[in-house]
């Protein structure tokens, strides 16, 4: 594998090139030394970019892991040949740690409040995974390398003093997703048609947004209005949120496709 050619092929922006170069360095080190190596946390767009790259070079000794199924922020783990993917949850092996922050339900603390306070300790965003805010507690996924530092320095959220403890992944409280289901029909499974239906805008506007680069398909920008969308695909529109094509049904008598879209709120 020519690393420079791979980076150039799959990335355009400087930040993307740097990200892929670092990922491929981790992969190379894992393969050469036959050891476990992992990246920092990736957001959904970064993960999609890296995942596309891993598929193209045929690497199979890796997995994305964020502490629980469906995590939005994940790390990429390269496995040695003697280790199975299910072993990664073992505490002695897992690169992640889990913190529970407890407070009174009378205090309304947001995701932004927690993130700001975490960043205020001096750690970098890439060391923090999902922040799972509940009514009276918040579970935070972090890289194990910053656990000790956070337990010693993360004592408050804003002016509110909080109680922190280390928990296991099995105890994570994952908030339920908030969404509405919408059933509609579209002329075809083109991206502009699904965007129009899912976000309740005209097809002309949907087409213009796609061409302007405001639409992402499975977290990567897609400017092709005629790109075919498949069941399970996620679509986001800048300023208007995210939808997922939940189901494609049968055609109507007029030849239109019946779809069910999950709109996140």
pLDDT range class, residue 68, cuts 50, 70, 90:
very high
Domains 96-171 and 179-264 share a fold: no
By mean pLDDT, which of 56-60, 85-89, 155-159, 168-172 is the weakest? 56-60
Cα separations in angstroms, 84 against 1, 68, 70, 90, 255: 24, 17, 20, 11, 47
pLDDT range class, residue 185, cuts 50, 70, 90:
very high
pLDDT range class, residue 57, cuts 50, 70, 90:
confident
Report the pLDDT value the prediction gives residue 155, as an integer from 0 to 100.
93
| pTM for the structure as a whole | 0.90
> What's the CATH fold of domain 3-89?
Ribosomal Protein S8; Chain: A, domain 1 (3.30.1370)
Domain boundaries, the chain: 3-89, 96-171, 179-264
Say which CATH class 96-171 falls into: alpha beta
61 pLDDT above the threshold of 70: yes
* Mean pLDDT value of segment 214-226: 97
Average per-residue pLDDT in the chain?
Answer: 95
179-264 CATH? 3.10.290.10
60 pLDDT above the threshold of 90: no
* Mean pLDDT value of segment 125-151: 97
- C-alpha span between 39 and 96 (Å, rounded): 11
């Amino acid at each position: 594998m020519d690393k420079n050619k791979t980076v150039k092929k799959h990335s355009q922006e400087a930040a993307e090139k740097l990200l892929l170069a670092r990922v491929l360095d981790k992969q190379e080190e894992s393969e050469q030394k036959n050891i476990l190596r992992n990246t920092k946390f990736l957001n959904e767009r970064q993960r999609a970019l890296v995942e596309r790259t891993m598929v193209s070079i045929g690497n199979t000794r890796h997995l994305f892991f964020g502490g629980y199924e469906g995590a939005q922020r994940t790390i990429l783990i390269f496995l040695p040949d003697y280790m199975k993917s299910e072993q990664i949850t073992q505490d002695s092996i897992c690169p992640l740690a889990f913190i529970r922050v407890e407070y009174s339900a009378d205090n309304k603390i947001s995701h932004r409040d927690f993130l700001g306070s975490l960043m205020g300790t001096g750690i970098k965003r890439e060391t923090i995974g999902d922040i799972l805010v509940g009514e009276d507690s918040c579970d935070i996924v972090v890289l194990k390398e910053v656990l000790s530092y956070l337990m010693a320095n993360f004592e408050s959220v804003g002016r509110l003093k909080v109680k922190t403890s280390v928990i296991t992944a099995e105890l994570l409280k994952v908030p339920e997703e908030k969404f509405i289901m919408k059933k509609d029909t579209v002329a075809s499974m083109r991206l502009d048609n699904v965007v129009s239906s899912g976000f309740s805008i005209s097809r002309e506007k949907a087409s213009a947004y796609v061409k302007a680069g405001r639409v992402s398909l499975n977290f990567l920008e897609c400017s092709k209005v005629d790109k075919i969308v498949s069941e399970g695909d996620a679509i986001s529109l800048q300023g208007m949120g995210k939808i997922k094509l939940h189901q494609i049904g049968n055609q109507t008598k007029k030849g239109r496709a019946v779809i069910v879209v999950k709109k996140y709120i």
